[in-house]
Structure 1
Amino acid sequence: MSYFITFEGPEGSGKTTLISKVHTQLSKSHEVIMTREPGGIGISEMIREILLAEGNDMDERTEALLFAASRRQHLVEKVIPSLQAGKIVLCDRFIDSSIAYQGYARGIGTEAVMEINRFAIEDHMPDLTIYLKLDPEIGLDRISSNQRGHNRLDAERIDFHKAVVSGYNELSENYPNRIRTIDASQSPERVLEDTMEIINQYLNQEVNQS
C-alpha cells in the first residue's frame, strides 16, 4: 500500500536529517522514496532557487504562488506517480508549510493560502504529517552553528519565525489525527525513536483495517 508522509517544522528543526534516517529504517521493509519542497524535480528546484536566494525580495502573494506552482509540478511529476506505484513517499514540507509561513507569518491569511493550494493539489493531502515542534530561537541557533547554508527565510526577524511556530501549533491542534507532534528539542536519537513509533503504529493500523 502507498502512503504520503510529510515532515513539517520551523527552520533548524532537523527535518532533513530525520527524513534521511526514517528513509533508512522504512526501506528495510517497504519501497520508499524521499523528496522535498520546494524542489524534488527539475522545475521545482529552479523555483526553489528563486524562492530561497538571499536578496530576492518579493511580494508575499508572489511568494505564496511560487510555492504553490512548485508544489503542483512536484506533485504530478513525482509524488502521485510514486504513490500509484505503491511506494511510501516521505516529503520534507508540503501544504502545511505554506499555511504556516505565508498564511500566518506573512499575514496573507489561511483561507487565501488554502484557496491557492486547493487549486494546486486538488484532493491530494498527506496521510500522515510529522510536526517537529521547536522554539524558533533554538532552531536559528542550530543553523548558525552548523554547516547548512543560510537562505532568505532564515534571515527573517525572530517575530516571523515565532509566527511560523504559532501557525504550526494551531494546525496541529486543528488536525490532530493527521498531524502528530514530536518534541524536536530532544536528542536526534529520541526524535527518531518517537517518529518511528508513530509511523509504525500508523502503518500497522492501516494494514489491520485493510
Structure 2
Amino acid sequence: MSMDKPIAFVTGGNRGIGFELVKQLAVKGFKVILSSRDPKKGYEALEKLKDPNLDISYMMMDVDEQDSIRQSAHTVNEKYGRLDVLINNAGIYVDGDEKLITMDPSILEKTMRTNFFGPYFVIHSFIPLMEKRGYGRIINISSELGAMSDMSVQGTGAYKLSKLALNGMTQLMATEIKGDIKINSVDPGWVSSDMGGPYASVSPKQAAESILWLATIGPEGPNGGFFRNGKSTNW
C-alpha cells in the first residue's frame, strides 16, 4: 500500500474553501474523497472537477450524524485501508446579529453540533486509520473569531464559541496523539464564499494555499498550532 497515492478526505468539499482544497490536493497527486451532506451538490462539484489527471471521488457524509461519520470511516477503511490527510472544513454560521444571551438556544446547539462536535466525531472515527500506520495530518478549519481576545467583543457568539472550542480541542488532541500524526488549526481569513460573502478579501484559492502546506509537513512540523497565512498565531 505504501506505494499507492496518499489519500485525503475533505468535509464540506462541495463549495468555497472545501472545493478548492479538494482541487489543490488532487493537483498535488492525492487521491481525494470529496465529502458533503447533500449528494446532489456533491456530485455537481465532482462534475466541475472532472479531469483525467485528477483522482477525486465523492462520499456522502453528514457531520451532524454520528452514524453517517462511522459508516464513512468504515467505507474508507474497507476501500483503501488508510487515510493520510483529514480536513475538517464543513461548518455553519447561523448567528446573524443575535446576542448569545438572548438568542434561541437551538442556534448555539446547532452551531456547536456542526462546527465542534462534527470535527470531534470525524477525528474520533477516522484517526484509527492513521494510527494503524503511525502517520496522518489533520487540519481543522477555524477562524480568527475563535481567538480568546475576540470573546470580549459582542456578537457572533455561537460561531465564536464553536471555533474557540475547536482550537482548544486541536491543542488538547495534539498532546494525546502518538506516532507521526499531526493536528493543527487554521484561520483562512475572510474568504469570499457563500459564508464569507462577496466583499471578503481572500479568494478560496488563496485560502486553500494558506492551509495546504500543513497537509505535507514532515515529522518535525508543527503540532497543536493555530495558523494564519502560514504563520503561527496566538488564540
- If asked which structure has higher relative contact order (CA below 8 Å, sep 6+), I would say 1
If each structure's helix is expressed as a fraction of its own residues, which one has the higher value? Answer: 1
Q: Could you state the TM-score of these two structures normalised by the residue count of structure 1?
A: 0.47
